[in-house]
Chains A and B, each alone.
Chain A
Amino acid sequence: MNQVSSNNSKKLKPGQIQGDTGLWEMVIGLEIHAQISSKSKLFSGASATFGAGANTNVSLVDAAMPGMLPVINQYCVEQAVKTGLALNAQINNYSVFDRKNYFYADLPQGYQISQFTKPIVGEGEIIIDLDEGKQTTIGIERLHLEQDAGKSLHDQHPTKTYIDLNRTGVALMEIVSKPDIRSPQEAGLFVKKIRSILRYVGSCDGNMEEGSLRADCNVSVRRAGEEFGTRCEIKNLNSIRFINQAIQSEAERQVEILESGGSINQETRLFDTSTGETRSMRSKEDAHDYRYFPDPDLLPLEFEDSWVKGLKESLPELPDTLRERLVLDYGITPYDAAVLVEEKDYVKFYEKAALGRDGKLTANWMISELFGALKKENLSLLNSPVSPESLGELITLITDGVISGKIAKDIFAEMMISKKKPIEIVKDKGLEQVSDDNEILKLIESVIADNQDKVKQYLSGKDKLFGFFVGQVMKVSQGKANPGIVNKLLKENLK
């Protein structure tokens, strides 16, 4: 099946496909559906929380009973505007709600209230970080507000579908990218960046497992420099891994069809996670005839510039500016800074730990030691047994020369288990670094006495043995001797 991609795949750049007739490239646009972190729904006062009993979070508005009228949630409007500002996008002070008409069992209204010709947020752009410090800009086409649909359960009964309307009417932001994405990897980075921005703004928790963030991918292929090809839309992908797989396999499918003389049908497709391939979903020709028209139940949404300005001032520091500040304030590398700004919580932790200390060393310890240990234990930073204060104290113990870097690793392992403060562990176990010249001299003398033959060899020109002596002294000190002083004193005494 996949012979198209297997040839020469080593030399291909991400997003390129080697066909029998030449090289193809992918053109990708994403639609991200982000559930707004509101208490109640977009147009009703029913709860928007996840996991309640079937049909308990449903009002008569959500159930589309006759005569019920939608009233918009102000918080949701604020979150859409704040997100738009964070995407460097045009904010539209005048936007309109439209009805998108289609029939489905989990859509009691028979239409979704969405925004079509006049969305609340227009064009913007974000920057994504590629490999080797390269960056690229991805355009944002728009962001609009819309209702989520209910949930259909198909596995409860052999011939029936069970419907739960709890999610019906929950507020979504649909964020649409421009077709600027050129590889599955870039698509994944785009989703990650959007998720990070949403979390900083606080407008969406970004939880892909619970479905608060899902993506539809529009994929087409073309030969380099040619016009865009016909696209297919892959619906409802809820992990970055699936986004990667779905785009790759869909693009390969399209290349196979085009190279064998066929043409692409513009259609909606589903990604089958068990086969790793996409399949056609709705083939009926009128499935996309949504007959949008302005919702007569809702007036246009209007607000003042001054209100937008107030929201702009309330925005927190966003990942891109934060990253620059970390590099400047703490002297860390742009790479480390990028890792730390991925999540708001990482930065909070880091700044607490690094305050008044060696920023680089703190970043190293946090990223390699702490993140590594947490990953091993399957813990998140929020549940870290090591607090930022403790990590900071450990850094201070290292930079003050109280303990060596090697001993610090043992202490850190102990901190992960016992939650004790590093200084307590140092005292309990007698792990203070020995920096006293006389004490180290005693150790050196005993090592020299025990290794007379090696001393002779060293003195007769075998310089490499110096490392052996350092190692022996460290060993008899149980790793506690200050390596700098050991070096200095050894040189003076091996004469």
Chain B
Amino acid sequence: MSNKKSIVDIQTVNKIARLARLNIPENDKDNLIIDLNNILEFVAQLEEVETSNIEPLASVTGHKLPLRIDEVTDGNIEDLVLQNAPEKSSGFFVVPKVIE
């Protein structure tokens, strides 16, 4: 438990919230700072393990990435794809104007 100092402050919480497009009420932020720091401290215990000569493990099952043949097997389900859209028009999703 060497790494006791807090990493997450109010600026970090604001930044993460903005990146995730989350609108966090001001009075929730103090608790979030505490929670996030606790999580990071917990995970920081892993730093005690010597891993400098160990390759990252991608899978514990030993499976290889499956590949598929290049064939058209899907699509033409625009009704299904658009089913949950808050707004649509002649086959398009419709969203508030996003232009630079």
Contact = CB atoms under 8 A, between A and B. Distances in A.
Given A60-B80, A161-B99, A162-B92, A286 B72 contact: no
Contacts of A39: 70-72
A286 B19 contact: yes
Interface stretch (A19-27, A46-54, A331-339, A383-391): A46-54
A149 B97 CA distance: 17
A59 B73 CA distance: 9
A63 interface: yes
Nearest to B63: A299
A289 B17 CA distance: 13
Given A46-B72, A73-B68, A165 B81 contact: yes
Contacts of B91: 53-56, 164
A286 B67 CA distance: 35
- Majority SS at the chain B contact face: loop
Interface in B83-100: 87, 89-100
B17 to A, nearest CB: 11
A47 B21 CA distance: 32
A164 B92 contact: yes
Interface residues of A, number: 53
B89 A162 contact: yes
B58 interface: yes
A126 interface: no
B34 interface: no
Nearest to A40: B72
B91 to A, nearest CB: 4
B92 A299 contact: no
Given A289-B19, A299-B59, A301-B65, A54 B90 contact: yes
B8 to A, nearest CB: 15
A161 B67 contact: no
Interface stretch (A127-135, A152-160, A240-248, A471-479): A152-160
B40 to A, nearest CB: 15
Given A45-B72, A163-B94, A164-B92, A58 B78 contact: yes
Contact of B97 (A74, A159, A294): A159
- Majority SS at the chain A contact face: loop
B18 interface: yes
B37 to A, nearest CB: 19
B100 A55 contact: no
Contacts of A161: 94-99
A177 interface: no
Nearest to B73: A45
Interface string A239-265: 000000000000000000000000000
Quick one: which of A77, A154, A160, A300 has the most chain B CB within 10 A?
A160
A281 interface: yes
A307 to B, nearest CB: 11
Interface in A305-348: none
A282 B100 contact: yes
Interface string B11-51: 00001001101000000000000000000000000000000
Nearest to B92: A162
A57 interface: yes
Given A72-B67, A73-B67, A105-B95, A56 B75 contact: yes
Given A58-B81, A73-B67, A299-B63, A45 B74 contact: yes
A201 interface: no
A152 B98 contact: yes
A296 B95 CA distance: 29
A484 to B, nearest CB: 60
A57 B74 CA distance: 8
A159 B96 contact: yes
A104 interface: yes
Interface of A: 38-40, 44-47, 53-61, 63, 71-77, 96, 101, 103-105, 152-154, 156-157, 159-165, 270, 281-282, 286, 289, 291, 294, 298-302
28 contacts: A39-B71, A46-B74, A47-B75, A54-B78, A56-B91, A58-B78, A59-B77, A61-B74, A71-B68, A72-B67, A72-B68, A74-B68, A74-B70, A76-B70, A96-B58, A104-B98, A105-B95, A152-B98, A154-B99, A160-B94, A160-B96, A163-B94, A164-B91, A164-B93, A281-B100, A291-B19, A299-B63, A299-B64
